[in-house]
Structure 1
Amino acid sequence: MNRPMPPHETLGNSAEPVFAPAPELIAWARETFIDEGAPLLNEDHRHLRWANIGALWTNVPNGHAGRRIVGQCEMGLPPTGKWGRARIERQLLDWFGEVPTFLLTFDAEYASSCSDAQFMALVEHELYHAGQERDAFGAPRFSKKTGKPIYGIRGHDVEEFVGVVRRYGASAAHIEELVAAANADPEIARVEIARACGTCQLRAA
C-alpha cells in the first residue's frame, strides 16, 4: 500500500482551520507496522492490534518552545469538564463513528513534503506513544473483564541526565539497550523526529 498523502483541503494557506479524518493513514500503518505479516512489522506495536486508533490531517500550525510540532498522540477523550468532554466526544463520533482509544494528529504540510523514511519515523514515533499500561513489576496490563490490553500514553524508554551516563556509565543509568541500538546501523533509515512531536513537547512542559 502506497504511503497516504493529506487531502488537498489541508494544504495551502487556508484562513480556516481544517481537521480531516485520515482512515487511510491508519489502514496503512496497520498494514505496514502492526498487523501480523506486515512488511515492516514491529512487534513493539503488537498491543495496538486490539486498539481503536483515529487519525487526523490538519493545516493548523503547531509549536512549542520555538520548535515546530508535526505529530501528536492523545487518548481519545481527555480528562476535562462534562461539557467539554461531551463536545469532544460528539466531534469524535462525527469523524470516526466511535471514540478512538488513541487519536493521532499530523501536520499535513510536513507530511506532504517529507521523505518516506521521515514519514514512517513520524508515524511510528506517535504509535510508540500509544502504549500499554504496566503493572508494578513491569508486566503489560490486561483487562480482567475483556482480556484486552489496558491502554495509556507512553513516555520514552530512557529519561536520564547525560552527566550521569558520562560519570557512571550506561549500566548505572540502565540504558545499555539504548546504547547498543544507537551504535548499530538503523534498521530502516537515519532520521530525527522526537523534537517535532507534540506529545513529547507536552510531557516536557
Structure 2
Amino acid sequence: MITVPGGQVTLTDRRTQHSWTVDVAPYLLAAHPLTQDAHARTTGTPDGGRLPAHSLAWWDAVRYCNALSLQEGLTPAYHLHDTTYDGDDGDHDADGGITWDRNADGYRLPTEAEWEHACRAGTTGPRYGPLDDIAWHRGNSGERIHEVATLRPNPWGLYDMLGNIWEWCWDLYDPEVYGSYRVLKGGGWYDPHWSCRTSVRRRSHPTLRIEDVGLRPARTLRPQP
C-alpha cells in the first residue's frame, strides 16, 4: 500500500460539461491493481499469478474488500444489508442498501476523487507520462491483459493507474439518470489511447462482470492520537 497525500482534485464529466472540486484526505492505496494470486489467497479462486484479477462485479469488489479486512483482523468498511445478490444478474436492487463505515480501518474501494487524485500524482496533463511507457492499451497490449507493475509507475509509485484494467470506484455515476451504475476509471488493455486518460469516466451496472474490469483496494488512514 502507498500512502497518498491529501490534496484537492477537480473532476470533470464531459457528458454534462460539469466540473466539481473535491478535497481529498490522506489515505492508503494499493501500488497496483489486485492480482489474481492475491485474490486467490483470500477467496480460494484459481490463481493466475501477477495478472490483474478481472471479471469482478462491483458487488464482488465490495465483498472482497470485506473478506480481506476480516482476514487481516481489520474492521470491514462495508455493511451489506442485501443478502439476495449471489453474483448473477437479475431484477433485484443491485445496490442492496450498502453502507460505508468511513471510520473503519478495513479495505475499501477508492472514491472517484481519491482515484483521480492518486492517478494524477501532482501532474496536470491528461496522463502522468507518455502512454506507451505507463499503460497497456489497444496499441501496445497485443489485445491481452498483462502482469501488473511491468511499466513505469506514476510519481507516487502507483503502477497501472492507466491501461491494463478498469478499476471500480465507490461512487454512483449519476443516480438521477443511471440509477445504481458505479464509476470505473483508468482504461483497459483493449481501449484506444483517448480512453486511457486520467479524467475519463466510465459507468457500469454493479453486477457487470467483464474481462477488463477489476479493482485496486484502498484503506482509510486513521488520525494519529
Which entry has the higher C-alpha Rg, 1 or 2?
A: 1
Bigger relative CO (Cα 8 Å, ≥ 6 apart): 2
Q: What TM-score results when the alignment is normalised by the length of structure 2?
A: 0.29
- Greater helix fraction, Structure 1 or Structure 2: 1
Q: What TM-score results when the alignment is normalised by the length of structure 1?
A: 0.31
